[in-house]
Structure 1
Amino acid sequence: MMAALVCGAAVFPGLFFSFRKILKHTRTEWSEADVTVVSERLISAVHGSLATAVGVTVVSSCRDVMTDSHWLVNSFVLFGVPYMVFDIYTMYLSHFHTERSRDGSEAPSGHSLQTVRAFLRKDWMLVLHHMALVFIFTPITLFFRRGLGDFFIGCMFITELSTPFVSIGKILIQLRLDGTKLHKINGLIVLLTFFTCRILVFPFMYWMYGRQFGIPLHQVAFHLPLHCNVGNLVLLAPQIYWFTLLLRKAQRLYLRQRRPQVNKDVTKKD
């Protein structure tokens, strides 16, 4: 299993610095902030795609939702630990260079406790999410669940399906393509995949458990230990919060794009 951990520690930093080098040579007009942000989103998309593929493989292979197991579960959890840790670093770099770009400074120096605090204040929930996956989800998956529930861990992997599309959206903005049909279509896919795979996946898991043991969906929660229900609520709460943020962002973009059309119609009437 250590091989998976070492592999993850080599793959994700290697991809990030490779993407940065390639983008610096191919996009010479981009700032350091542009290069860093796009590189961060690319490795996020890679991890999300791999996690989804692993999740689909595990879920489709488990007939018994409690006892069936798959070797990919523990291996991918260990493979993903370096990504979670390294992604915090790349998010900080993106924040740092973006803020310096806004200030009109491209100097590489300037890291300080103040910049770290500013990053943590801005992205505290994402950082907390990553740290919880490393220090809570990983030990539970590897040591405390006694080999049970690979199906449900696979479902958790599938929640990453929306991540590549979120990354694509940010990359399109970086490419100044945020007003195109491609960006609009990608935005709809983000909303659909996020709602389906990060919110509806929870009642789906309850339904699958109930189907196997002959329990109606509305009674499944009462047949599960309290810590299972609490754990699911803790995981679900930030997903609902992030989904509301996505809906607000989509509404703002819709209103912003609709305003010029309304102005044109008013001008024509005049």
Structure 2
Amino acid sequence: MDPPMSKSRYRRAKLCVLGAVNAGTFAAAVNLVLTLDPEDRISVKRGCALTALGFVYFMSLFELFTFAALFTTSGSRLRHKYRLNCGDVLDINNKLVSAVQAALSCVTGAVVCLWSCTRDFMRSSHFMSEAYAWFGAAYFFYDIWSMYLVHVRQMGFSKSKSTNDKVKSSNETPKSVEGSDAPKNFEGSDALTATSLDEVGCMGPKKPKRGPKCAACGDCLGEGVNTISFFSYCRHEPVILFHHLFIGGFGFLVIVYLRGGLGDCVFGFVYLMELSTPFVSLRGILSRLGLKSSRAYLLNGLAMLATFFVCRVLSLPYVCLMYSRVIGLPYFETYPIE
């Protein structure tokens, strides 16, 4: 009989499986469109397959980042260094996946613009615009669930911390890192020296023994902590919910069906609007790490402002200028203001 697999071997194996699933789904999605001609349309059958692969890709990517941060030695050391609780980790990973999605969107936009904008402005099209609409639509529905997990974990930590503070004296309360706006979980800089890294859960070295369990790491959240239902979260965050449903639903319909195959160049610029998103995500990550006063935070902020202004403010007037040149009319005669 084979000996049972050790915890470290199991974690390495799971990390490899998650990585293989993530890479495999992306490769499968690429393979679905690799043989298409640039002007081909995406069929419903192929599109549904792309959406399914998109769900698996974004969810497995989030799980991969989360598992690496919570259940590996390197991840535990980073959490200790920056004093991150599980809610911080999930929030950072949510932003990392958002940055990856934005990068894919920008690649799509660049391909579409290089193809469609240099040919027939209105009628030229590239299959990438529809293909990524199918694939990327899954992200917005995944992200609703991901943000729900972040919300539950952060609320759980806040309530657990509040409960624990009632039974602790004031001189035992852990101090947070200067400049950080997130709750911190490790009690003292030497917390890991007295505790094995394998024993450090998302609540820090001292794991609660009772209470509901964290969906990400499986640790108990502590007594007095109630779980938050998904529908309660939806009622709590209606604006975010509407935004994601609108973009993932109506935006998808516009790109795939309602535009009638026209204006592909315009939608290429719409995809490029995501260029500022990685910098927005990095800003949130640096804030979670307590690095608001760092040079990296300043430079990232400048890059965020520059890309936001160019890609989300100037791009639309520029597209309108391109259209006015195509139809041979002055700019303000093309779009009369009455």
Confirm whether residue 111 of structure 1 aligns to residue 228 of structure 2: yes
Which residue does 2:99 correspond to in 1?
45
Paired letter, 2:98 = S
Residue 92 of structure 1, CA deviation: 2.0
Q: Indicate which of 54, 71, 76 corresponds to 2:132.
A: 76
* Aligned equivalents of 2:63, 2:296: Cα separation in 1: 28
Q: 1:126 to 1:195 in 2, by over 3 A?
A: farther
* Aligned equivalents of 2:264, 2:94: Cα separation in 1: 29
Residue 115 of structure 1, CA deviation: 4.1
* Aligned equivalents of 1:167, 1:31: Cα separation in 2: 18
Residue 152 of structure 1, CA deviation: 0.9
**Residue pairs, 1:6-85, within 5 angstroms:** 6-24=52-70, 25=72, 26-28=74-76, 29=80, 30-62=84-116, 63=118, 64-85=120-141
Residue 137 of structure 1, CA deviation: 1.4
Deviating 4+ runs (over 4 angstroms): none
Which residue does 2:28 correspond to in 1?
none
* Aligned equivalents of 2:233, 2:147: Cα separation in 1: 12
TM-score (norm 1): 0.76
* Aligned equivalents of 2:243, 2:232: Cα separation in 1: 22
Q: Aligned with 1:104: secondary structure?
A: helix
Between 1:87-96 and 1:178-187, the stretch displaced more is 87-96
Q: 1:144 to 1:115 in 2, by over 3 A?
A: closer
Paired letter, 1:130 = H
1:150-202: per-residue Cα shift (whole Å, max 9, x none)?
11111110000011111111111122211101100001111111121112221
- Return the structure number with greater helix share: 1
Residue 102 of structure 1, CA deviation: 2.7
**Residue pairs, 1:164-183, within 5 angstroms:** 164-183=278-297
Which residue does 1:3 correspond to in 2?
49
1:35-64: per-residue Cα shift (whole Å, max 9, x none)?
110110010000001101110111111222
Residues 98, 281 of structure 2: 8 Å contact kept: yes
**Residue pairs, 1:1-270, within 5 angstroms:** 1=46, 2-24=48-70, 25=72, 26-28=74-76, 29=80, 30-62=84-116, 63=118, 64-105=120-161, 107=212, 108=214, 110-112=227-229, 113-118=231-236, 120=237, 124-222=238-336
Paired letter, 2:111 = T
Residue 103 of structure 1, CA deviation: 2.8
> Aligned pairs, how many?
219
* Aligned equivalents of 1:222, 1:144: Cα separation in 2: 25
Between 1:12-21 and 1:104-113, the stretch displaced more is 104-113
Residue 6 of structure 1, CA deviation: 2.1
* Aligned equivalents of 2:152, 2:333: Cα separation in 1: 48
* Aligned equivalents of 1:6, 1:211: Cα separation in 2: 40
* Aligned equivalents of 2:103, 2:93: Cα separation in 1: 15
Which residue does 1:265 correspond to in 2?
none
Which residue does 1:246 correspond to in 2?
none
1:120-144: per-residue Cα shift (whole Å, max 9, x none)?
1xxx333322211122111122122
> Which structure 1 residue ranges, 5 or more long, are not aligned?
224-270
Q: Aligned with 2:126: secondary structure?
A: coil
Q: Aligned with 2:50: secondary structure?
A: helix
Q: Aligned with 1:75: secondary structure?
A: helix
Paired letter, 1:22 = A
Paired letter, 2:75 = R
Residue 104 of structure 1, CA deviation: 3.3
* Aligned equivalents of 2:137, 2:92: Cα separation in 1: 21
* Aligned equivalents of 1:211, 1:44: Cα separation in 2: 35
Q: Aligned with 2:153: secondary structure?
A: helix
* Aligned equivalents of 1:96, 1:34: Cα separation in 2: 12
* Aligned equivalents of 1:92, 1:201: Cα separation in 2: 33
